[in-house]
Amino acid sequence: MNIITYPERSTWNELLKRPVMNTDTLRDTVLEILNRVRTEGDRAVMEYEEKFDKVTLQSLAVSEQEFADAEKAVSIELKAAIMLAFNNIRTFHAAQKFEGKRVTTLPGVTCWQKAVAIEKVGLYVPGGTAPLFSTVLMLATPAQIAGCKEIILCTPPDRSGKIHPAILYAAKVAGVSRVFKAGGVQAIGAMAYGTSSIPKVYKIFGPGNQYVTAAKQQVSLRDVAIDMPAGPSEVAVLADETAQPAFVAADLLSQAEHGTDSQAILITTSEALLREVTGEVQRQLEQLPRKGIAEKSLANSKLILVRTMDEAVDMVNEYAPEHLIIETKDYQQTAERIVNAGSVFLGPYSPESAGDYASGTNHTLPTNGYAKAYSGVSLDSFIRKITFQEVTQEGIRMIGPAIEVLAANEYLDAHKNAVSVRLAFNPQNKL
């Protein structure tokens, strides 16, 4: 890891840069795959599955028998853990249900909002180096609570054409309608355009590698909505001299094992803690099965020593981390000063792993500094709010003259007239 001591504010912009992910270089490849999926449908998806995932498929849809076999294959211990996580995620997201209120802005003028679920949503769950069944729960559970009519899921199969049993079990628990064996750009294209097997959806959710990210960006230009811009996963730990070095090191490494392009940052006011964390990282790293991945990730990571907690908080807000862990003596008060972060973990016993799996919050979060403008996935991500207004005859008399003036001054005479004819209307003589 890179150690930086007392950096000047003028260097922060360069210091806090993420690993570069330039999806522009992938554009031609991504467009070629998307165009083939758009025109050739299932055939193109299957050909790309054979090319990229090294599997020959006869069907893209997961069968009922495969679901049944998966349920038998998942251990009782894992089922119990999945159910605990599902229940907590459901409890937290159900509490976010929108309650629209009718507002009378003037006598006779009433406005309100109604929450309506997005009817068709597509969830993407990567394959790669780990079966991310937790992501199934994070995406499908709020979709189910929102009332989405069709929830489909695409995930790449293994070389025998199977999907990890825990992914299928989690999908069934969380209310996924159908699961399809498709990964990468071809899966995003299939959900964006629709094929004979995979239905077109209105919004696509889920993480993925740089090709998936580029594909989501491309289809969002005109074909389908997406959850948020995405980049490599990241964590920042904000700590003082009271933090436990072993906890901090474990938190940094839990992020580093995500992928070689992940980033873990420690921002601390304690030189002693920084030294101890450096040693702890090396000690714990040797025990990790995914040591090779973590080592490469740590090359992008930094231990930063600053002079004051004020400076540390300012640096965190400038970085806008996807995950922020605060391990300080007064972590509650410190947290009140955080304005840019995806999800915040407070105190020594709140590791990122809690939010990643089972505390109830969502782990699909803005990365790459987008926490300055975007929220993580929530119940709101799966609904739309439609506004309504009812204006009575009394109401149009209250606001009509102002509307006429506003429309006239924008030179929109037809807008003005739509009000004027109503103001002139007399039920007795019809005008």
pLDDT in tens, 380-401: 999 999 999 999 999 999 999 9
pLDDT of residue 1: 85
Q: How confident is the model over 362-374, as a mean pLDDT?
A: 95
What residues contact residue 6 under an 8 Å CB cut-off, 6+ apart?
A: 305, 306, 307
Count of domains observed in the chain: 3
In a domain, 184, yes or no: yes
What residues contact residue 30 under an 8 Å CB cut-off, 6+ apart?
A: 23, 185, 211, 214, 215, 218
314 in a known ligand binding site? no
**Rounded Cα–Cα distance for residues 333 and 402 (Å):** 47
Rounded to a whole number, what is the largest CA-CA distance in the chain? 90
What residues contact residue 388 under an 8 Å CB cut-off, 6+ apart?
A: 111, 112, 113, 114
pLDDT in tens, 257-267: 988 889 999 99
pLDDT of residue 261: 87
Q: Are residues 222 and 307 in the same domain?
A: no
In the chain, what percentage of residues exceed pLDDT 70?
Answer: 98
Q: Are residues 67 and 201 in the same domain?
A: yes
pLDDT of residue 60: 98
pLDDT of residue 77: 98
Q: How confident is the model over 193-209, as a mean pLDDT?
A: 96
Catalytic residue among 323, 327, 363, 404: 323
209 in a known ligand binding site? yes
In a domain, 428, yes or no: no
Residue 146 clears pLDDT 90, i.e. is over it: yes
pLDDT in tens, 78-113: 999 999 999 999 999 999 999 999 999 999 999 999
pLDDT in tens, 29-68: 999 999 999 999 999 999 999 999 999 999 999 999 999 9
In a domain, 372, yes or no: no
Handedness of CA 247, 250, 255, 256 (dihedral sign): positive
pLDDT of residue 3: 96
In a domain, 431, yes or no: no
Q: Are residues 87 and 109 in the same domain?
A: yes
pLDDT of residue 279: 96
363 in a known ligand binding site? no
Question: With bands split at pLDDT 50, 70 and 90, how would you rate the model's confidence at 410?
Answer: very high
Domain range enclosing 410: 392-423
Q: Are residues 45 and 81 in the same domain?
A: yes
Residue 430 clears pLDDT 70, i.e. is over it: no
pLDDT of residue 130: 78
pLDDT in tens, 315-355: 999 999 999 999 999 999 999 999 999 999 999 999 999 99
410 in a known ligand binding site? yes
Catalytic residue among 322, 327, 352, 404: 322
Q: Are residues 163 and 87 in the same domain?
A: yes
Q: Are residues 328 and 191 in the same domain?
A: no
The domain that holds 405 is classified in CATH as: 1.20.5.1300
Whether residue 318 lies in the annotated active site: no
356 in a known ligand binding site? yes
**Rounded Cα–Cα distance for residues 424 and 146 (Å):** 44
Could you say which of 183, 208, 229 is where a domain stops?
229
Q: Are residues 163 and 197 in the same domain?
A: yes
349 in a known ligand binding site? no
In a domain, 376, yes or no: no
Whether residue 64 lies in the annotated active site: no
Q: How confident is the model over 192-202, as a mean pLDDT?
A: 98
Q: Are residues 154 and 27 in the same domain?
A: yes
In a domain, 377, yes or no: no
64 in a known ligand binding site? no
Q: How confident is the model over 147-151, as a mean pLDDT?
A: 98
In a domain, 299, yes or no: yes
Q: What is the DSSP string of 32-46?
A: HHHHHHHHHTHHHHH
Residue 134 clears pLDDT 60, i.e. is over it: yes
93 in a known ligand binding site? no
Phi then psi dihedrals of residue 408, to 5 deg: -60, -40
**Rounded Cα–Cα distance for residues 288 and 293 (Å):** 10
Residue 246 burial (CB count, 10 A): 14
The domain that holds 325 is classified in CATH as: 3.40.50.1980
Q: How confident is the model over 243-251, as a mean pLDDT?
A: 98
Residue 163 clears pLDDT 70, i.e. is over it: yes
Question: With bands split at pLDDT 50, 70 and 90, how would you rate the model's confidence at 127?
Answer: confident
Question: With bands split at pLDDT 50, 70 and 90, how would you rate the model's confidence at 431?
Answer: low
pLDDT of residue 73: 98
Cβ burial of 166 (10 Å; 0-12, 13-18, 19+) is buried
Q: Are residues 35 and 101 in the same domain?
A: yes
What residues contact residue 161 under an 8 Å CB cut-off, 6+ apart?
A: 55, 56, 57, 181
Q: What rounded mean pLDDT belongs to the chain?
A: 95
